[in-house]
Amino acid sequence: MKNGNSVFSRFEVQKYILAKNLKRDLPASVVVFLVALPLCLGIALASGAPLFAGLITGVIGGIVVASFSGSQLSVSGPAAGLTAIVLGAIATLGSYPTFLLAVVLAGCIQIILGIVKGGTIGNYFPSSVIEGMLAAIGLTLILKQLPHALGVDSDFFGDESFAQGDSENTFSALTSAFSHFGLAAIVISGLSIVVLILWPKFKKLAVVPAPLVVVLLGVGLTFLFRGTPYALGDKHMVEIPVVSGWSEFLGLFTTPDFSQILNAKVWIVAATIAVVASLETLLSLEAVDKIDPIKRVSPTNRELIAQGTGNIVSGLVGGLPMTSVIVRSSANVNAGGRTKMSAIFHGTWLLLSLIFIPGLINMIPLACLAAILLVTGYKLTRIALFKHMYHKGWDQFVPFVVTIIAVLLTDLLKGVGVGMIFSIFYLLRTNMRNPFFYRIKEDGDKKNLRITLAEEVSFLNKAAIAVVLNKIPKETNVIIDGSNSRYIDPDVLETIFNYKHNAYTKGIIVNLVEIKKNYTVPKLNNKIIEEINSN
């Protein structure tokens, strides 16, 4: 099919098997796998779902969603932002199979949203808010992973919200960690960070991914500390289900209860999951495109269809709802991923590790994984980014900072919502100042005022124009020039025509230049777009 609408077009297959891409995608997939593994388990635990559900969701997010997605670097899986919704939904619906039906229906809704072009809403997220969200995620990673790096693993690995399920919050958990740290975890995380920073500087050594070296180092040091007072316990290690055979593995799957298809509560939960998951996905997609070194633009509507497909499959086999996830996606970018094969490979590694090497995976200490996320967090919230946003002006810097603070103190969606409010305020402020420019000429006792309207005059400009017109002094000749305007909002036109009709009472003469009675919104030339896509 044309335009890459098939799962893999011929051109895409050729691109993905190129050695220059595979040599980047394979190492990156290992990094994403190592980051995703504990996150999948932690999110399942926090959601009140079986641990296996988190892992199978990660597998589907990697293999199924990435195959259908048009994004090259986005990685999907269970999301911390949905944990509260999932936990409440399972309790409300009364059983996990009934909840799985809601996940399947949510996927169907997402596919419909993609078909009706609902993904275009992603184009309206301001750049300052997206940058703020990325920086906030970076700071959140640092604050949340420091306790794990210190050997305090009381909360689940990957909780991105300010309030935690153990009655702690981000700051109280961090304070507590400094008084209950473990020496072994500090040594492992400290050496891991050093390796992550220095290893890539040696080109000959960089053939082996630094995170893989970190994991091997962590396993080795864990054995070294065994039998000492500083030995790590089970709670400090990755923990995935261990199955003894194929039949036991198949027994981990759960199917939806389709008998509840007419249950109104199921549809309410499905709609909630679909909307929240779609918003998180679009936000993550926009953020990943910003940090993509090649600056590719992901098709948002195709992404919603891919996510919907993934959620349908996940619900059918007992998994959790999923989204495109910024933490795993950022790790993918920072590890040098080039195409969607890194996400597909990461899903494959998750599946293979679950089937063949669960015992080996359970030897990995959380401290070395925390080190990987700490370095990723630093790259997302580097000081240079704050300087860059500051130099762009207050209308960019204020929403950027507000988004960071709001995300840190609440969660991703609420924080972005607050940032959007501030961004819209500055947008309105800018629009009110720039609907026109004017020039005043004096001819004896008579003043001549020429008001030239902007190319686009929206209803947001109505108040500014009305204020200026009402302040024009008596006995003034006024020319309102719309020759540059492609579109003038009906509310603005009504204000202008009313003013012209009543201005004589103040001795004001108003002349309108090339201002129509009505305007239509300029339409996109679909023929041009189709020609571009076909080429």
- Is position 142 within any domain? yes
> Which amino acid, residue 287?
A
Residues 36, 122, single domain; the answer is yes
| Domain that residue 95 falls in | 18-389
Whether residue 497 lies inside any domain: the answer is yes
Residues 439 and 385 in one domain: no
Is 533 inside any structural domain?
A: no
Same-domain status, 448 and 382: no
Choose the weakest-confidence range: 262-266, 272-276, 410-414. 410-414
- pLDDT for 76-96, tens place per residue? 999 877 877 888 899 899 999
Average pLDDT, the chain: 84
Taking only Cα atoms into account, the Rg of the chain, rounded to an integer number of angstroms, comes to: 28
Residues 184 and 330 both lie in one domain: yes
User: Does residue 340 register a pLDDT over 90?
Assistant: yes
Which amino acid, residue 203? K
What pLDDT score was predicted for residue 12? 61
Of 257, 342, 424, whose CA–CA distance to 31 is shortest? Answer: 342
Helices and strands in the chain: count of H runs, count of E runs: 23, 8
Q: What is the pLDDT of residues 1-42, one digit of tens each?
A: 444 445 555 556 666 778 788 889 999 999 999 888 888 887
User: Phi and psi for 161 in degrees, rounded to 5?
Assistant: -90, 160
Looking at the fold, whether 228 and 160 belong to one and the same domain comes out as yes
Question: Are 375 and 475 contained in the same domain?
Answer: no
In a domain, 524, yes or no: no
By CB neighbour count within 10 A (0-12 exposed, 13-18 middle, 19+ buried), where does 44 fall? buried
Q: Name the more confident of 497 and 239.
A: 497
What pLDDT, on a 0 to 100 scale, did the predictor assign at position 1? 41
Residue-level pLDDT at 3 = 45
Tens of pLDDT, residues 424-473: 888 777 666 655 665 666 555 667 888 888 888 877 778 778 888 888 88
Same domain? 369 vs 493:
no
- Point out the least confidently predicted range of 4-13, 123-132, 308-317, 436-445: 4-13
Is the pTM higher than 0.85? no
Residue 35 in any domain: the answer is yes
- Which has the closest alpha carbon to 333: 291, 368, 366, 390? 291
pLDDT of residue 168: 64
pLDDT at 259 over 90: yes
